[in-house]
């Protein structure tokens, strides 16, 4: 993408936005970077961290509000869509609200980006969108399908859409590591199931995947980062080695293991050195050499799941990451 462009990030005051904004300001050299979100206090607090950088603008708005999106996207070249209702139990108990943000919000953004002439849009997805068992995952699968189809829905317009999908973001708000750290002094950590595994990715890796998608995308790709897995018992032991672990059972809508590529997607999936790419099944785009590039077709029975993953994060690696990031874990 060209320098001196205007970029907008939805949900930009969340964990991802706090990592994306400084990286984008440094690496992408934008003319303007707009943060769209609903919470004025979070915007005010974030603005203080970047005080003096006149490229950064803040815009109160909600992806549910289509008219507000049209105003926010005026003159915007690139969009990163991070806004979502994403806590699994919250979505289970507030299903209408989840759909309004994750599905209706995606539809609003797609329409507005096409009409406003945005060049490229990258939407953030989740491992829970692959073979979903909870509403959050189902809503994000619907969102992924909308963004992929948006490339044909755009018709003669030049707007292009792609998706990035990754697993548990270490240190993000509401995730397991800051939760365990916040209660470890009590001497007891709740474990949903000792067999549970999760993909592990840093915010910086998530941001880099978005940058790659922006530069590589033709339209309709779902980018899946290659990342290690870890067992929840091992995570708890590293965070609080002296704490007792208490089995509390899986929460409503929660999976035992996470999956980012299901067997149904294998016929359309290609492997690269640091990621996979699921190509669209529609319009024969999965056979398009411009989208495939130097990718290697995966086996027909391929899946990418946290329990059968080839790469595993060691205790030492997680301990080193916590030491390096102790000052900011759970703070954003």
* Rounded CA separation 23/329 (Å): 18
SS3 content of the chain, % helix, strand, coil (to 5): 40, 20, 40
Rounded Cα distance, 24 and 262, in Å: 32
Catalytic residue among 42, 128, 226, 255: 128
Strand partners, 42: none
Catalytic residue check, 128: yes
- Return all residues near 197 (Cβ < 8 A) that are at least 6 apart: 229, 230, 231, 232, 256, 257, 258, 306, 307, 309
Q: What angle do CA 182, 184, 187 make, to 5 degrees?
A: 145
Question: Element (H or E) spanning 225, and its range?
Answer: strand 222-225
Measuring CA to CA, how many Å separate 32 from each of 26, 92, 249? 12, 37, 47
25: left (phi over 0), alpha (psi -120 to 50) or beta: alpha
Judged by DSSP in three states, 280 sits in coil
Q: Which two tokens stand for residue 138?
A: 């189902």
Residue carrying the six token digits 């849009």: 121
- The catalytic site residues sit at 128
């Amino acid at each position: 993408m060209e320098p001196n462009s205007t970029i907008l990030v939805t949900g930009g005051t969340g964990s991802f936005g706090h990592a994306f904004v400084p990286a984008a300001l440094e690496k992408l050299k934008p003319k303007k970077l707009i943060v769209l979100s609903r919470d004025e206090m979070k915007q005010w607090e974030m603005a203080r961290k970047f005080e003096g950088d006149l490229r950064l603008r803040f815009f109160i708005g909600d992806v549910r509000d289509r008219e507000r999106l049209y105003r926010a996207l005026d003159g915007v070249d690139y969009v990163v869509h991070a806004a979502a209702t994403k806590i699994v139990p919250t979505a289970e108990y507030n299903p209408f609200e989840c759909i309004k943000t994750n599905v209706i919000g995606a539809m609003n953004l797609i329409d507005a980006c096409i009409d406003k002439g945005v060049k490229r849009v990258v939407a953030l997805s989740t491992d829970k969108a692959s073979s979903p068992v909870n509403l959050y995952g189902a809503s994000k699968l619907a969102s992924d399908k909308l963004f992929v189809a948006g490339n044909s829905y755009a018709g003669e317009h030049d707007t292009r859409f792609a998706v990035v999908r990754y697993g548990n973001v270490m240190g993000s708000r509401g995730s397991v590591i800051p939760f365990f750290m916040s209660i470890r002094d009590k001497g007891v950590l709740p474990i949903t199931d000792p067999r549970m595994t999760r993909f592990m990715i840093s915010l910086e890796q998530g941001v880099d995947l978005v940058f790659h998608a922006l530069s590589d995308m033709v339209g309709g790709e779902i980018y899946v980062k290659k990342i290690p897995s870890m067992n929840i018992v091992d995570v708890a032991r590293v965070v609080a080695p002296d704490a007792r672990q208490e089995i509390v059972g899986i929460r409503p809508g929660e999976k035992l293991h996470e999956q980012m590529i299901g067997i149904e997607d294998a016929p359309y999936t290609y492997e690269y050195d640091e990621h996979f790419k699921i190509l669209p099944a529609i319009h024969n785009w999965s056979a398009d050499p411009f989208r495939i590039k130097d990718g290697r077709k995966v086996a027909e029975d391929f899946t990418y799941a946290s329990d059968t993953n080839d790469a595993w994060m060691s205790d030492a690696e997680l301990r080193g990451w916590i030491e390096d990031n102790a000052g900011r874990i759970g703070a954003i």
